[in-house]
Chains A and B, each alone.
Chain A
Amino acid sequence: MTLRTSRTILAATAVLALCTAPLRAEMADDELNINGDTPIVTKAPAADFLKGHLDEVYSGWLFRTDSSRAMEQDDFDNPIMVFGEQGMDNWNVADGSEGKSCADCHGDIEEGMKGVRAKMPHLNAKGELWSMENYINDCRTERMGAEAWGWDSGPMKNMTVAIAVQSRGMPVNVKIDGDAAPFWEKGKEMYYTRYGQLELSCASCHEENYGNYIRADHLSQGQLTGFPVYRLKNAGVVSIHNRFKGCIRDTRAETFKPGSQEFRNLELYVASRGTGLEIEGGGVRP
């Protein structure tokens, strides 16, 4: 009731919001420009399929405090870059029975991985929906003869950071029509399913209540453009599926596993809600 109305008004007059809600600013009025040379779009009109749900889409960066936002503005201050550098080092290291490195097939990471984060997840040649982690492991096991990395293992997260950075400033570019449509529809259904004993859906928090506080947490739209993110709380990198797992757990629900078909479907749908925004590659979160 009042909430919905107040948010619609706030969204329409984002600047005024600061005056009308002095205690709780809706979100930051700020521009992201990493290292001063990579401007990133963090606000955009919502995609057509979101009509009636959202008018504009916002990066999670806008909902963070001044100090977290500042850390993401400069790679020297962004703790995730240490992990990204480890990933970049590993890019050139040969591994497995074939004695090959990523670079042997893909060349420089700056060239070979440009735009890859922006189009994830997408269908593979066999018509399966794969996330970045699946593609990385496919290269490791099928082309390098190396062992697969765990979804949330250190080397995997480091590599996904290194790859995400190569898409900075590129618009979200996920394919949701054609053969991808059935996966997208399933992800959408999940997004609106009220899970757990608390009976909350993703939409309960990230569509109906972004801008509001749930205890100390300032709710964002739950966008993926900052991922993988560095979380100050765990002093480490958090993958997309790990974030999903935590959010579903917080509804007092039985969660799903990182890498599961369900989470890949959900990832496609949530990624598509960010259409219009640009990839940040290494966000900083509390």
Chain B
Amino acid sequence: MSFNPACLKNENLGKLVWPLVALFAIVVFNVIFTPGFFNLEIKDGRLFGSLIDILNRGAPVMLVSIGMTVVYATGGIDLSVGAVIAIAGAVAATIIRPDYVKGVIEYGEMAPLVTVIGVPLLLALLAGLWNGALVAYVGIQPIIATLILMVAGRGIAQLITEGKIVVFIHEPFQFIGGGFLLGLPVPIVIVAVMLLVTYLLTRKTALGLFIEAVGANPKASQYMGIRAQLIKIATYMFCALCAGIAGLIICSDIKAADANNAGLFLELDAIAAVIIGGTMWGGRFTVAGSMIGALIIQTLTTTILTRGIAPEVTLVFKALVIICVALIQSEAFRKILTGRLAKTEAGQS
């Protein structure tokens, strides 16, 4: 990991080239083989088309990858996002229909939107606080610390819905997943807002540098006066918040809370997006790269769906894309490619 401030800008841009090439390749493939891929129509003042669809379907992955990027940059990882998504959805649905799990069909008093959105997001923040505290204060490795919530979190979500799929109708809440704002689906607008907030926070304040410093060397950053533990907790809480919002979008979109399947495997998609985007594990991060990564994954999924291949097989393609990108980023692999294989293995680990 070389630090050379002079070429940072170029380095960042250079990192985005490969993911962009990959995304471009998939899009070109679609232009040739999928008729009407670029068609955009406006119906009733709303935009429709494959591209909008990819953005709309990809919104949860994009949201979670924003949070995951920041956590990844601190040298962490958050496996619990899928569970947090399930919890957020379960809580929102239960607030709307508190007695559904007991077999009561009536809704009772309609819950105000603030509660339906606010309480799940507060709980998501709490989950993030738990993860962050385990990592920063107890000192457990991130992969294990978040594993606990990944295992138990889905259990908690099922406990809330008592193992049932809670279906509901709640007009204002359904707007989040299915509504349109300025002609765009609301999930896309939410992603755009979160992106803007993240950009302003990490690039217009010193927070981004702090996060990278903590990731690159926690001890040195501590000596510099950065409160490394606080930064870490904040990143985990932010990641959980993103997951919570994604959970609300998913839940509102399908008008139901499915504690078993909501957000299943989403953590893997998000991690894949971050890695494809070129964020280093502990160090430099680029949210833009992660967005490109998320788009690559979603476009790949959509492409495979339109080709009539079973959606489950996307996993094979995802695996191949991730390993190729990871290999290209690996210094050892580049050395072999350029024929300068290191003679000794000592001192390299």
- Do the two chains bind? no
* Chain A residues proximal to chain B, CB less than 8 Å: none
